[in-house]
Structure 1
Amino acid sequence: MKLILTQPVSGLGSAGDVVDVKDGYARNYLLPRKLGTPWTKGGQKQVDAITAARAKREVRTAEEAASAKASLEGQAVQVEARAGNGGRLFGAVTSAEIAEAIAAAGGPQVDRRRIEVPAPIRNVGDHTAHVRLHEDVTATVTVTVTGA
């Protein structure tokens, strides 16, 4: 099934890309979450509008993303969560909590959907998270989890 992506999807493409995916992936994941719309001939106008808007923003945001990356990688972000004996958390640290901690530490406002955690954070200690600031710019953030 051909789709026009309306939001960036990790591992698939960015907004405005026309992608060919399996029917079940489109029907059960991309379309219900409004991450894509079915491709039609009239939809090509939508693709052109999205790519034109992205081209305008791209140069400006690339410079901002590079400066934000420098500030993010230089600091550790601290998140406090409830933990039991042995440092095991009750639940996991979410990307929304990491985004709040980045903002509280004086970093840039980051959307939680742009934060990728390689493995769920379920223990007290230092962990890494990747923040996609731009298509070509990804910052690695050190997340220090403390028990409460």
Structure 2
Amino acid sequence: MKIILTNEVSGLGTAGEVVEVRDGYARNYLVPRGFAIRWTKGGEKDVEQIRRGRKIREIATIEQANDVKAQIEGVKVRMKVRAGDGGRLFGSVTPADIATAVKTAGGPDVDKRRVELGAPVKTLGTHKVSVRLHPEVLASFDIEVQPA
């Protein structure tokens, strides 16, 4: 099935690309979660709009990405969240929470869709987080989750 990606999908492509995937993957995962739309002749017009929107938000060069990477890795990110006994959180820390915490800590604006978590953050302590700034640049840093 041909689809148009509306968000970046790891291992598949970036927003605005037309890709061919298996029917079940598109129908059961990509389309319901808003990562893609079905390809149509009329959808080609949407591709240009998605690409223009991505170009505005995107970091254009590797040099810019490395500058932002240095800024992010130089920031100490601490988050205060509600937790129960034993250090378990009520819920989990989302990529949107991490993007907000980086901005609050004095770092640059980070797109929540580019935040990559190895595993869901559901406990107190220090956790490793990565941000895909450019297809070739990945910024890694630690977040410290503390009880509120």
Do both share a fold (TM > 0.5)?
Answer: yes
2:132 & 2:37 partners in 1: Cα distance? 23
Aligned residue number for residue 95 of structure 1? 95
- 1:121-140 alignment, distance < 5 Å: 121-140=121-140
> What is the CA distance between 1:51 and its match in structure 2?
9.6
Scaled by the length of structure 1, what TM-score is found?
A: 0.81
| Counterpart for residue 80 of structure 1 | 80
Query: Tell me, what secondary structure is at the counterpart of 2:16?
Result: coil
- Deviations for 1:41-91, whole angstroms, at most 9, x for unmatched residues? 6656765x4798578987734332211101111222101111222222222
Moved over 6 A (4+): 54-59
Q: What is the RMSD computed on CA atoms of the aligned residues? A: 2.7
After TM superposition, the structure 1 stretch with the greater mean CA deviation from structure 2, 14-23 or 101-110, is 14-23
Following superposition, the deviation at residue 23 of structure 1 comes to 1.1
1:38 paired residue number = 38
Distance 1:24 1:58 in 2: 30
CA deviation vs aligned residue, 1:6-42 (integer Å, no higher than 9, x gap): 3211221112333221212212322234432333466
What is the one-letter code of the residue matched to 1:72?
A: I
Q: Which residue is equivalent to 2:106?
A: 106
- Cα distance, 1:146 vs. partner? 0.6
Aligned equivalents of 1:115 and 1:60: distance in 2? 18
Name structure 1 gaps, 5 residues minimum: none
Structure-2 change in CA distance of 1:86 and 1:46 (3 Å): closer
How far apart, CA to CA, are the structure 1 residues paired with 2:106 and 2:55?
Answer: 29
Normalized against structure 2, the TM-score is what?
Answer: 0.81
